[in-house]
Amino acid sequence: MNKIYMLMLSGIVCPIALRAQQPTVINLNFPIQHADASVIDFDNDGKLDILISGENDSGKALQAFKNNGDGTFTTVSVPFAPVTRASIDWNDIDQDGKPDVILSGSIDYNGTTDKSVEIYTSDGAGNFSSKAISGLTAVAPGCGFADLNNDGYVDFYVFGNIFQGESGFYINNKAGGFTKTEFTDYDLVDPDVTPVDFDNDGDLDLFLMGKDNTTSTYVSVMLVNTNGVFAAQSLGITPRGDGSAVWGDVDGDGRLDLLINGNGDWDGTETTGDVVRLYRNNAGTFTKVATFQQYGQGSTGDGLRFADWNNDGKLDVIVSGWSANQNRQAADIYLNNGDLTFTPYAYNNNIPGVGESSIEVGDINNDGKIDLVVTGTSYNNYGPGDLGGKASAVVLNPTTTANAAPTAPAGLSVASNNPSEITLSWNAATDDSTPANSLSYNIFVKDANGVYYYYPLADESTGRLLLPRMGNVQFNKSWTIKNLPDGAYTWGVQAVDNSFAASTFATGTFTINGGVLPVTLQQFSTGKENNRVKLQWVTAAESNNSHFEVEKSADGKNFAYLQSVAAQHQANTYTVYDEQPYNGVNYYRLKQVDTDGKETVLGVKAVDFGIAVAVTATVYPNPAVQDIRVKLSRYTGSALAVNLIDISGKVIYRQAVNSGVIDFAVNYQPAPGLYLLQLTGEGLNQQLKLLVK
């Protein structure tokens, strides 16, 4: 998208043309194919690093690249065993709030040896230690982490070639070990498995694709999760194997759609293996809406990606593989037009094409745009963007449109459905471009000792994602957790947009006593009533609770005591009134207090009472010579994101400003010139013109 910004300074009209440019390619000089590439900030320094494992002419190969933040990378040593036809995933298996990794793969493609499944725990600074798992069957190539039974403990799954052993689920026994349940529905060859809540029912299902060696047919089915038990269900799609599948909401309806490639000629289903199909999810019924040809991945896993490449809020399609009609390996982007049609990206020929491929996305240079990592076979005689053999590279996105992070979710509440379950809920967030239905959500839950039951793979203070992907509860706006231990807990939730920018975390607390919440809340509502605000809540059960407290805030952050109500120790309806609401938005927080003094936040509600007053922002001095400051008027929202944009449209500096600050310095000294200062926050999205002399 091209934009023209007109800056009027001192009576001069100066056009700033934000024109599309060609992508910049950074060659990692690591020859590789049949790989898996992972983009993650594994040392928590604020920059996304890269891990690649696969094969080259010397055999199996693995390399970790530390991002230096200046367009260069340093290779660093990690203890991971190199594997080909690899699968890599991340989560927190030891509950310490640091990213751990599972890695599986093989190089003996048709044999029974030289296969590996390993788990490594992290200290959060880039150092890893191998974790032994008793009874682990080493099969390749599919593996991953997920909470498969909603108990707050990380489980994992390993799906691989039948001649190496049975695939299965490893359920965390909460005592440091895992119980395996074998999966014997199919005699699998080269499977690819993806966790996805395709039916938005609040648990993670598994999409399985591969070959069934017994029937000599391809398999593409959903393993539907019912209380931790999985059953295969057909989606009515053309089955594929030796490929990959990714999920995303391409049409903004709040359901995860499927992009899938792979071979179809082994069982006679099709005579080709180079068709990529997009299926729309219509409440569990899948309809083909688009195809992309010709792209033969030639490897299992991760040859496709969804990402918002041009920051217009819509998920674009990225495909890779041998393209016979282009007579080259390709890595092509198709831009989403918003009507289930797609337009080829103008600079596809400038992106290194790859076959036997794996690709990944993430904001490598922290400029607010999704970049692309490509790996695979890439020969010079197959196109201008190729790298002359087995290769790996970073493709920096030249898009000029800036992206702002979503707002943080509001309306957090905790309820107990039965003595063994608690449900966390929140209201939908908003975003400047991604449809509200397409925002995913990422939660954390930890106890008073810092033990994590859900780890968000994100920085809890800033919201920055360590791993660019959908949130861990996907599109759900409530999540039920079963059989948590007694204790006091802190939890939080953030929204993630289609460019994998994330909001800050909204947080709350709850306490479990005797396996249940002291109060089972059915409803908490607020509303205007004449010149006051009515607050009402309904409980289904109460035990060991002393009273309720209602607190009030003008900004949703700083709450003050409003009123206490004695508990009735049984199901009851409570009503209180705020006789003197603020002009504008009023926030109300409901807490219950146990007999021992422990507090639990049951929910936060907002009521717009009166006429909202416009927020204004001023940058001064303007023109500036050295110090640059910003003053806000009437802003009571959450933390601010500040972006400084140069004349080419590039974000050259980012700064976060805490809520409550109304006058602050921009901690950066740009060169003389014309700039835009973009301010984004709760109810605020302004661009200020700035001249620096």
Name the DSSP class of 349. G
What's the CA gap between 202 and 200, in Å, rounded? Answer: 6
623 plus 640 within the same structural domain: yes
3 is written with which tokens? 């934009």
By mean pLDDT, which of 122-126, 236-240, 668-672, 685-689 is the weakest? 685-689
Decide if 297 is inside a domain: no
Residue 6 has pLDDT above 50, yes or no: no
Q: Both 536 and 502 in a single domain? A: no
Q: What is the CA radius of gyration of the chain?
A: 26
Domain extent, residue 415, equals 410-512
* 506/466 same-domain check: yes
601 and 680 housed in the same domain: no
DSSP state of 240: -
What are the distances in angstroms from CA 660 to CA 402, 587, 615, 642? 25, 15, 13, 15
**218 within domain boundaries:** no
When pLDDT is cut at 50, 70 and 90, the band that residue 110 belongs to is: very low
CB environment 271-288: b (16+ within 10 A), e (fewer): eebbbbbbbbbeeeebee
Nearest Cα to 194, choosing from 291, 292, 262, 136? Answer: 262
Q: What is the mean pLDDT of residues 636-655?
A: 82
Q: Look at residue 574 in the predicted model and tell me its pLDDT.
A: 96
State whether 508 and 524 are in the same domain: no
User: Looking at the predicted structure, is the pLDDT value of residue 100 above 90?
Assistant: yes
What does residue 670 show for φ and ψ, rounded to 5 degrees? Answer: -80, 165
Question: Phi and psi for 153 in degrees, rounded to 5?
Answer: -115, 140
The reported pLDDT for the residue numbered 521 is 75
Last residue of a domain, one of 512, 546, 571: 512
Residues 6+ apart with CB under 8 A from 649: 3, 16, 18, 19, 400, 401, 402
Half-sphere exposure of residue 280: CA atoms within 13 angstroms, side-chain side? 12
Residue 50, pLDDT above cutoff 70: yes
Do residues 623 and 688 both lie within one domain? Answer: yes
Strands 440-447 and 389-396: unpaired
Same domain assignment for residues 430 and 493: yes
Looking at residue 382, what DSSP letter applies?
Answer: G
Residue at 582 is within a domain: yes
pLDDT of 386 strictly over 70 = no
pLDDT in tens, 460-496: 999 999 999 999 999 999 999 999 998 889 999 999 9
Pick from 564, 593, 609: which residue ends a domain? 609
Identify whether residues 663 and 639 lie together within a single domain: yes
Q: How far apart are CA 265 and CA 489, in angstroms?
A: 53
Question: How high does pLDDT run on average in the chain?
Answer: 87
CA dist 275 and 321 (Å) reads 10
Secondary structure of the chain: what % helix, strand, coil (to 5)?
A: 0, 55, 45
In a domain? residue 440: yes
Same domain membership, residue 543 and residue 484: no
| Positive or negative torsion for Cα 117, 122, 127, 130 | negative
Contact 158, 174 (CB under 8 A): no
Helix H or strand E encompassing 492: strand 487-496
Percent of the chain with pLDDT over 90: 56
Rounded Cα gap, residues 145 and 168, in angstroms: 12
DSSP 583-633: SEEEEEEEEEEETTS-EEEEEEEEEEESPPPPPEEEEESSSBSS--EEEEE
Q: Count how many domains the chain has.
A: 3
Query: In which residue are the tokens 């201008």 written?
Result: 384
* Tokens representing residue 343 in the block: 């337009």
Question: Residue 339: exposed, middle, or buried by beta-carbon count in 10 A (0-12, 13-18, 19+)?
Answer: exposed
| Over residues 145-158, mean pLDDT | 96
Query: Residues 310-329: pLDDT tens digits?
Result: 999 999 999 999 998 888 89
> Tokens 């919440």 appear where?
517
Shared-domain flag, residues 414 and 506: yes
pLDDT at 443 over 70: yes
- Return the pLDDT at 382: 47
Three-state secondary structure call for residue 340:
coil
Instruction: Please determine, for residue 529, whether its predicted confidence score (pLDDT) is greater than 80.
Output: yes
> CA 556 to CA 407: how far, in whole Å?
13
Residue 335 lies in a domain: no
pLDDT of residue 676: 86
Two tokens at 508? Answer: 């709350």
Lowest mean pLDDT among 2-6, 388-392, 416-420, 606-610: 2-6
pLDDT for 2 beyond 50: no
402 vs 565, which has greater pLDDT?
565
DSSP result, 542-553 = E-SEEEEEEEEE
Residue 598 included in any domain: yes
Q: Tens digit of pLDDT for each residue in 158-192?
A: 998 887 778 999 999 999 899 999 999 999 988 99
Q: Are residues 421 and 507 in the same domain?
A: yes
Question: Tokens 């639990």 belong to which residue?
Answer: 600
Last residue of a domain, one of 567, 586, 609: 609
Q: What is the pLDDT of residue 9?
A: 27
Question: Can you give the CATH number for the domain in which 672 is found?
Answer: 2.60.40.1930
What confidence score (pLDDT) does residue 641 get? 85
Are 425 and 491 within one domain? Answer: yes
pLDDT of residue 595 exceeding 80: yes
Q: Average pLDDT in the 283-292 region?
A: 94
Residue 159 is assigned to a structural domain of this protein:
no
Judge whether residue 283 has pLDDT over 80: yes
Determine the distance from the C-alpha atom of residue 434 to the mean position of all C-alpha atoms in its chain, rounded to a whole number: 13
Q: 67 Cβ partners below 8 Å, 6+ apart?
A: 41, 47, 48, 49, 50, 73, 364
Amino acid letter at 40?
I
pLDDT: which is higher, 420 or 548: 548
DSSP 8-state symbol, 554: S
Residues pairing with 594 in the sheet = 545
Instruction: Please check whether residue 403 lies inside any domain of the structure.
Output: no
Q: Could you give the C-alpha distances from 73 to 29, 136, 394, 485, in angstroms and in order?
A: 11, 35, 10, 43
| Residue in the structure block whose two tokens are 């008793």 | 134
- The CATH number of the domain holding residue 578 is 2.60.40.10
